[in-house]
Structure 1
Amino acid sequence: MERWLALELVSTIRHDGDGGVADDLATVSGTAHWIQEQGDLLAGHIPVGELAVDEDLRLAIIELRQAVRTLFARVVRPAPPSPADAHRLMTVDQATAHLNAAAARELVAPQIEWTVEGVPTARLLSAENEPYVRLVAALARAAVDFLSGPQRTQLRSCSAPRCVRYFVKSHGRQEWCKPSCGNRARAARHYRRQRMATDGGSAPP
């Protein structure tokens, strides 16, 4: 399954398996662990192993995440957004401005590398020395790329009970982010039908 850095960022807010919502960026150590897990997606942007995470960086990533989740909520309209933070999203204008400002903090130039027997590859040459700025800017650029790319049209908010994830549909009939959510949704639907039948009402479709 293809991974997108922007989707990984918003997915740091997730169902905790106990009926609540967990935040992978709730602590500095949790944020550092998440950044390490994204090493392959951040390769070529920043040397992840050399980054020391502190509270300022954690809060900067969280603020960027809020902007991206706001824009994800806009994409899935008229379907409802993730219930995890639907009540505290930015305005679309605020989110767009914040995302663009974060992406603009690092000036980069594309560079081509082509060995004698290899194929040409591209990397970004940065004019920024501050690793914190480079990380947040890389996350912002990833969100810009995602939101302006073709995968945006397949973005959905999972409608399974208790799930708060966004996901990209991998096939036409996909309704939930993963099979376990589908099982939970079908079980909940079956329970409602049974309840309606017991109460003498008509079952929902």
Structure 2
Amino acid sequence: MAQHLALALAGTIRHDGDGGVADDLDDVAGLSAWLREQATSLRPYAGDLDGLDAADESLRRDVVALRRAVRTLFAEAVRPGPPSRADSASLLSPREAVDRLNRAAAAVPVCPVLAWEPDAAPTLTWRTDVSDARLRLVAGLARAAVEFLAGPDRERLRACHAPRCVRYFVKEHPRQEWCKPSCGNRARVARHYQRHAAGR
């Protein structure tokens, strides 16, 4: 769950389909749409967000600042490979990114809660007495990112280097080079074109 949420936050910066970069959190409407999409993944980290009124510019700025820290630490995690091209020139220092992530995670005190339903695997959620859904949201996103970055999946984190792609992904099998098959197809077509153009 942490992997999905951390990658989803980082993935709000993506290829726009026209050779540029799009930011899904560029405005409050984009943040609201993203929060609706991620509601199930957010619940274990931030609780029920039904109390979260419509997102506003202040919340958007907080989530975007957290995303910048996450993408900075993703860029650090994929070294010695190159980071995503989307924002490699505007990353924080790793120390600043860690501090930002830790401050956000610590803003809401939590305790772990184990749930274990019959015939199901045990699950962990975080409980807090803080009623402010906005604080819970940002702190929950930070906790998910910390959990992912401190966990074993970080070792498999990669930046996709297919033409025009700017996403990070977790490598699922040894031969995986791209975040999704369409990126692999684009990379193969680009290599084919380069070989034939060089031969002319």
Task: Name the TM tier (shorter chain).
Answer: over 0.9
Distance, in Å, in 1 between the alignment partners of 2:25 and 2:114 is: 35
- Asked if residue 71 in structure 1 is aligned to residue 80 in structure 2, the reply is no
Deviation digits for residues 31-57 of structure 1 (CA, Å, limit 9, x no counterpart): 011011001111242323331211100
- Counterpart of 1:123 in 2: which secondary structure? strand
Q: What's the offset of the Cα at 1:128?
A: 1.6
Structure 1 residues 3 and 123: CA distance shift in structure 2, 3 A: closer
Q: Deviations over 1:66-106 (max 9, x none)?
A: 00000000011111111110000000010000000000001
2:13 paired residue number: 13
How far the C-alpha of 1:8 sits from its partner, in A, is 0.4
* Contact in 1 for aligned 2:47/2:127 (Cα 8 Å): no
Deviation of 1:114 after TM superposition, in Å, equals 5.9
Is the 1:166–1:177 Cα contact (8 Å) retained in structure 2? yes
Q: Secondary structure at the match of 2:50?
A: helix
How many Å separate the matches in 2 of 1:167 and 1:121? Answer: 24
- TM-fit CA distance, 1:4: 1.2
CA distance in 2, matches of 1:155, 1:124: 25
Which residue of 1 is the match for residue 139 of structure 2? 137
* 2:164 alignment partner in structure 1: 162
Distance (Å, rounded) in 1 between the aligned partners of 2:95 and 2:123: 35
Are the structure 2 counterparts of residues 77 and 122 from structure 1 closer, same or farther at C-alpha, using a change threshold of 3 Å? closer
Q: Which runs of 5+ in 2 are unaligned?
A: none
Cα drift, residue 125 of structure 1: 2.0
Larger Rg: 1
Cross-structure match for 2:34: 34
Equivalent pairs, count: 196
How far 1:135 sits from its partner (Å)? 0.2
Name the amino acid aligned to 1:39: A
- Deviation string 1:137-188 (CA, Å, 9 cap, x unpaired) is 0000000010011110110000101100000111100001111111110011
Find the partner of 1:98 among 97, 100, 123: 100
Percent identity for Structure 1 against Structure 2: 54
Identify the structure with bigger relative contact order (alpha carbons < 8 Å, sequence gap 6+). 2
Q: RMSD in angstroms over aligned alpha carbons?
A: 1.7
Provide the rounded CA distance (Å) in 2 between the counterparts of 1:182 and 1:13.
19
1:51 corresponds to which residue? 52
TM-score, length basis structure 2: 0.92
Matches for 1:92-131 after TM superposition, within 5 Å: 92-113=94-115, 121-131=123-133
> Aligned-pair distance for 1:113?
4.8
Which secondary structure does the structure 1 equivalent of 2:89 belong to? helix
- AA aligned to 1:130 is D
**Unaligned 5+ residue runs, structure 1?**
199-205
Match of 1:177 in 2: 179
8 Å contact kept, 1:175–1:182 = yes
Give the distance between the partners of 1:3 and 1:81, measured in 2 at CA: 18
Asked if the contact 1:36–1:48 (Cα under 8 Å) also holds between the matched residues in 2, the reply is no
Alpha-carbon separation, structure 2, partners of 1:73 and 1:121: 30
